Amino acid sequence: MTAQEVIRNIRNVPDFPVKGIQFKDITTALQNPDCLKWFRDQMVDLYSSKGVTKVLGIESRGFIIAPAVAMELNAGFVPIRKPGKLPAETVEISYDKEYGKDTIQIHRDAIGPEDTVLIHDDLLATGGTMAAAIALVRKMGVKKVYVNFLIELEGLNGRAVLNEADEVTTLLGIEVNE
Ligand code: AMP
Protein backbone atom coordinates (compact mmCIF):
# COMPACT_ATOMS: atom_id res chain seq x y z
CA MET A 1 0.00 0.00 0.00
CA THR A 2 1.27 3.47 -0.83
CA ALA A 3 0.06 6.71 0.73
CA GLN A 4 -1.53 7.66 -2.62
CA GLU A 5 -3.49 4.38 -2.69
CA VAL A 6 -4.76 5.01 0.83
CA ILE A 7 -5.80 8.57 -0.13
CA ARG A 8 -7.79 7.13 -3.04
CA ASN A 9 -9.75 5.06 -0.46
CA ILE A 10 -10.82 8.18 1.50
CA ARG A 11 -14.20 9.52 0.36
CA ASN A 12 -14.79 13.25 -0.15
CA VAL A 13 -18.26 14.33 0.93
CA PRO A 14 -19.03 17.89 -0.20
CA ASP A 15 -21.05 20.20 2.06
CA PHE A 16 -20.96 17.98 5.17
CA PRO A 17 -21.77 18.72 7.97
CA VAL A 18 -22.37 22.25 6.65
CA LYS A 19 -22.21 23.93 3.26
CA GLY A 20 -18.68 24.72 2.13
CA ILE A 21 -16.91 21.96 4.14
CA GLN A 22 -15.45 19.07 2.16
CA PHE A 23 -15.61 16.19 4.63
CA LYS A 24 -12.84 13.56 4.50
CA ASP A 25 -14.71 10.33 5.21
CA ILE A 26 -12.25 7.69 6.44
CA THR A 27 -14.91 4.97 6.80
CA THR A 28 -14.33 3.91 3.19
CA ALA A 29 -10.61 3.39 3.91
CA LEU A 30 -11.40 1.52 7.15
CA GLN A 31 -13.47 -1.00 5.15
CA ASN A 32 -10.32 -1.99 3.25
CA PRO A 33 -8.14 -4.31 5.40
CA ASP A 34 -4.96 -3.16 3.62
CA CYS A 35 -5.67 0.50 4.51
CA LEU A 36 -6.64 -0.42 8.06
CA LYS A 37 -3.34 -2.26 8.56
CA TRP A 38 -1.40 0.54 6.80
CA PHE A 39 -2.69 3.11 9.32
CA ARG A 40 -1.73 0.89 12.25
CA ASP A 41 1.67 -0.14 10.86
CA GLN A 42 2.71 3.42 9.95
CA MET A 43 1.94 4.60 13.46
CA VAL A 44 3.69 1.65 15.07
CA ASP A 45 6.81 2.35 12.95
CA LEU A 46 6.81 6.01 14.01
CA TYR A 47 6.42 5.34 17.75
CA SER A 48 7.90 1.92 18.53
CA SER A 49 11.14 3.39 19.90
CA LYS A 50 9.69 6.44 21.70
CA GLY A 51 8.82 4.84 25.04
CA VAL A 52 5.08 5.60 24.74
CA THR A 53 3.20 4.30 27.81
CA LYS A 54 -0.34 5.50 26.93
CA VAL A 55 -2.04 6.16 23.61
CA LEU A 56 -4.84 8.74 24.01
CA GLY A 57 -7.65 8.79 21.43
CA ILE A 58 -9.90 11.83 20.94
CA GLU A 59 -13.65 11.06 20.67
CA SER A 60 -14.79 9.69 18.43
CA ARG A 61 -12.78 8.98 15.31
CA GLY A 62 -9.60 8.99 17.39
CA PHE A 63 -10.89 5.78 19.04
CA ILE A 64 -10.63 3.64 15.91
CA ILE A 65 -6.90 3.10 15.28
CA ALA A 66 -5.45 4.16 18.66
CA PRO A 67 -6.24 0.94 20.60
CA ALA A 68 -4.68 -1.25 17.87
CA VAL A 69 -1.53 0.89 17.99
CA ALA A 70 -1.47 0.82 21.80
CA MET A 71 -1.51 -2.99 21.80
CA GLU A 72 1.43 -3.12 19.38
CA LEU A 73 3.41 -0.60 21.48
CA ASN A 74 2.61 -2.49 24.67
CA ALA A 75 1.02 0.74 25.93
CA GLY A 76 -2.40 1.41 27.45
CA PHE A 77 -5.32 3.16 25.75
CA VAL A 78 -7.01 6.22 27.29
CA PRO A 79 -10.11 7.96 25.89
CA ILE A 80 -10.45 11.77 25.78
CA ARG A 81 -14.20 12.37 25.71
CA LYS A 82 -16.95 14.93 25.44
CA PRO A 83 -18.52 16.04 28.74
CA GLY A 84 -20.74 13.68 30.69
CA LYS A 85 -19.41 10.43 29.20
CA LEU A 86 -16.61 9.44 31.60
CA PRO A 87 -17.96 7.96 34.85
CA ALA A 88 -15.19 8.70 37.38
CA GLU A 89 -13.43 11.93 38.41
CA THR A 90 -12.29 13.95 35.40
CA VAL A 91 -10.00 16.85 34.47
CA GLU A 92 -11.37 19.07 31.71
CA ILE A 93 -10.55 21.96 29.43
CA SER A 94 -12.80 24.29 27.42
CA TYR A 95 -11.77 25.88 24.16
CA ASP A 96 -13.19 28.17 21.49
CA LYS A 97 -14.62 26.71 18.32
CA GLU A 98 -15.76 28.54 15.21
CA TYR A 99 -19.26 28.72 16.73
CA GLY A 100 -19.23 28.78 20.54
CA LYS A 101 -17.22 26.72 23.01
CA ASP A 102 -16.44 23.05 23.48
CA THR A 103 -15.10 20.97 26.38
CA ILE A 104 -13.12 17.72 26.55
CA GLN A 105 -12.42 15.53 29.57
CA ILE A 106 -10.03 12.79 30.70
CA HIS A 107 -10.12 10.58 33.80
CA ARG A 108 -7.92 12.17 36.48
CA ASP A 109 -6.20 8.87 37.31
CA ALA A 110 -5.63 7.84 33.67
CA ILE A 111 -2.22 9.51 33.19
CA GLY A 112 0.47 11.02 35.39
CA PRO A 113 4.11 12.17 35.64
CA GLU A 114 5.45 8.69 34.82
CA ASP A 115 3.74 8.64 31.39
CA THR A 116 4.93 9.42 27.88
CA VAL A 117 1.75 9.93 25.88
CA LEU A 118 0.77 9.80 22.22
CA ILE A 119 -2.43 11.75 21.50
CA HIS A 120 -4.16 10.64 18.31
CA ASP A 121 -7.04 11.92 16.19
CA ASP A 122 -8.13 11.18 12.64
CA LEU A 123 -7.72 14.61 11.08
CA LEU A 124 -5.92 17.93 11.64
CA ALA A 125 -7.95 20.90 10.39
CA THR A 126 -7.53 24.13 12.42
CA GLY A 127 -5.88 22.21 15.29
CA GLY A 128 -8.19 23.70 17.94
CA THR A 129 -9.30 20.37 19.40
CA MET A 130 -5.79 18.94 19.57
CA ALA A 131 -4.33 22.16 21.05
CA ALA A 132 -6.87 21.81 23.88
CA ALA A 133 -6.02 18.12 24.34
CA ILE A 134 -2.30 18.96 24.59
CA ALA A 135 -2.97 21.67 27.21
CA LEU A 136 -5.18 19.23 29.17
CA VAL A 137 -2.49 16.55 29.20
CA ARG A 138 0.26 19.06 30.09
CA LYS A 139 -1.78 20.08 33.17
CA MET A 140 -1.39 16.49 34.36
CA GLY A 141 2.40 16.70 34.26
CA VAL A 142 3.35 13.94 31.82
CA LYS A 143 6.94 13.36 30.65
CA LYS A 144 6.44 13.83 26.89
CA VAL A 145 3.53 14.58 24.56
CA TYR A 146 3.61 13.15 21.03
CA VAL A 147 0.78 13.97 18.63
CA ASN A 148 -0.38 12.07 15.55
CA PHE A 149 -3.12 12.42 12.94
CA LEU A 150 -4.00 10.12 10.05
CA ILE A 151 -4.70 13.14 7.80
CA GLU A 152 -3.42 16.71 7.74
CA LEU A 153 -5.50 19.20 5.77
CA GLU A 154 -2.79 21.28 4.18
CA GLY A 155 -3.37 24.99 3.74
CA LEU A 156 -5.10 25.51 7.09
CA ASN A 157 -1.80 25.65 9.01
CA GLY A 158 -3.26 23.73 11.96
CA ARG A 159 0.25 22.80 13.12
CA ALA A 160 0.85 26.42 14.14
CA VAL A 161 -1.25 26.00 17.29
CA LEU A 162 0.35 22.68 18.34
CA ASN A 163 3.73 23.99 19.49
CA GLU A 164 3.23 22.72 23.06
CA ALA A 165 3.65 19.16 21.75
CA ASP A 166 7.11 17.57 21.69
CA GLU A 167 6.51 16.29 18.13
CA VAL A 168 3.63 16.23 15.62
CA THR A 169 3.35 13.62 12.84
CA THR A 170 0.72 13.07 10.15
CA LEU A 171 0.45 10.05 7.86
CA LEU A 172 -1.24 11.70 4.86
CA GLY A 173 -1.21 15.32 3.67
CA ILE A 174 -4.22 16.38 1.62
CA GLU A 175 -4.89 19.86 0.22
CA VAL A 176 -7.97 21.29 1.90
CA ASN A 177 -9.92 21.54 -1.37
CA GLU A 178 -8.44 18.44 -3.05
P1 AMP B 1 -9.93 20.99 14.22
O2 AMP B 1 -10.09 21.21 15.70
O3 AMP B 1 -10.37 22.15 13.38
O4 AMP B 1 -8.53 20.54 13.85
O5 AMP B 1 -10.95 19.84 13.80
C6 AMP B 1 -10.84 18.67 14.47
C7 AMP B 1 -11.94 17.65 14.33
O8 AMP B 1 -12.93 17.95 13.37
C9 AMP B 1 -11.25 16.38 13.93
O10 AMP B 1 -11.49 15.48 14.99
C11 AMP B 1 -11.92 15.94 12.65
O12 AMP B 1 -12.43 14.66 12.84
C13 AMP B 1 -13.05 16.92 12.39
N14 AMP B 1 -12.93 17.57 11.07
C15 AMP B 1 -12.70 18.88 10.83
N16 AMP B 1 -12.69 19.16 9.52
C17 AMP B 1 -12.91 17.99 8.87
C18 AMP B 1 -13.00 17.58 7.49
N19 AMP B 1 -12.86 18.46 6.47
N20 AMP B 1 -13.21 16.29 7.22
C21 AMP B 1 -13.33 15.39 8.22
N22 AMP B 1 -13.26 15.69 9.54
C23 AMP B 1 -13.07 16.97 9.88
Closest ligand 1 atom, CA of 127?
4
CB burial of residue 102 (10 Å; 0-12, 13-18, 19+): middle
The predicted structure's pLDDT at residue 98: 74
The predicted structure's pLDDT at residue 69: 99
Give bridge partners of residue 76 from the DSSP assignment.
54
Rounded Cα–Cα distance for residues 125 and 153 (Å): 5
Interstrand relation of 116-124 and 144-154 (parallel, antiparallel or unpaired): parallel
Distance 167 CA to ligand 1 centre (A): 20
Which mutation among 129, 154, 177 tests ligand 1's pocket best, with the greatest number of atoms within 8 A of CB?
Answer: 129
The predicted structure's pLDDT at residue 59: 98
**Catalytic residue selected from 8, 11, 81, 98:** 98
- pTM, two decimals, is 0.97
Cβ(170)–Cβ(152) below 8 Å: yes
**Catalytic residue selected from 40, 61, 108, 159:** 61
- Annotation marks residue 59 as catalytic: no
Cβ(153)–Cβ(24) below 8 Å: yes
Nearest partner of 104 among 81, 127, 85, 125, judged by Cα: 81
Mean pLDDT, 10 residues at a time, over the chain (178 residues)?
98 94 96 98 98 98 98 98 98 90 97 98 97 98 98 96 98 90
The predicted structure's pLDDT at residue 100: 86
| 64 CB within 6 A, ligand 1 | no
The predicted structure's pLDDT at residue 142: 98
| 158 CB within 6 A, ligand 1 | yes
Please confirm whether the linkage preceding 49 is cis (ω < 30° from 0). no
CATH of 50-175, one of 3.40.50.11390, 3.40.50.2300, 1.10.287.70, 3.40.50.2020: 3.40.50.2020
- Annotation marks residue 98 as catalytic: yes
- For the CA atoms of 44, 177, 134, 48, the dihedral, rounded to the nearest 10 degrees, stands at 10
